[in-house]
């Protein structure tokens, strides 16, 4: 839907003053990356693969948190799915979304989305493990203002 695509396009408004530049940049990013977030296929990089990658990363790196979330009635993917599908637009601050998409473009890979989703849950692990209800967990995760995407990664090294 058009409103859904606005989530992707909004950060580009901070980069360009000319609407044509916003449009053509957004169109290119959407055609090359974002469209895969709404595609189910047997190929790599679609939403099914990214969802599975998120679950594997979180379960392998933080099994206590993974199983705590399940036990309390909030499957981890239910938390992270919209983050992944929308490339964190609407969740992270604009500068952090731009930093994330800078990494995605540099690495030419959407696999950073599930990795970041798992990292955010792990970052909030201590508080999440104290929660007993899905509502409490959602409250812990609601504020993303302190979350920062690392600026020091360089895929060409």
- The number of C-alpha atoms within 13 Å of 50 and in the hemisphere containing its C-beta is 28
Axis crossing angle, helix 19-32 with helix 2-9, rounded to the nearest 10: 100
Task: Read off the pLDDT of residues 2-30 as tens digits, 9 standing for 90 and up.
Answer: 455 567 778 888 888 999 998 999 889 88
The radius of gyration computed from the CA coordinates of the chain, to the nearest angstrom, equals 16
Q: What is the overall mean pLDDT for the chain?
A: 89
Closest CA to 58 of 108, 125, 145, 126: 125
**Highest-pLDDT range among 24-38, 125-139, 140-154:** 125-139
pLDDT for 29: 87
């Amino acid at each position: 839907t058009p409103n859904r695509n606005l989530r992707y396009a909004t950060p580009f408004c901070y980069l360009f003053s000319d609407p044509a530049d916003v449009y053509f940049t957004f169109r290119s990013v959407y055609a090359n990356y974002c469209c895969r977030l709404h595609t189910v296929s047997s190929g790599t990089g679609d939403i099914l693969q990214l969802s599975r990658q998120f679950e594997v990363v979180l379960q392998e790196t933080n099994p206590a948190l993974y199983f705590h979330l399940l036990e309390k009635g909030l499957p981890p993917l239910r938390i992270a799915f919209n983050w992944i599908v929308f490339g964190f637009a609407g969740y992270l601050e604009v500068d952090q979304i731009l930093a994330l998409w800078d990494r995605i473009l540099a690495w030419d890979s959407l696999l950073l989305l599930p990795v970041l989703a798992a990292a955010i849950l792990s970052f909030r692990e201590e508080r999440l493990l104290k929660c007993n209800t899905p509502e409490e967990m959602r409250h812990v995760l609601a504020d993303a203002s302190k979350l920062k995407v690392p600026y020091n990664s360089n895929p060409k090294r």
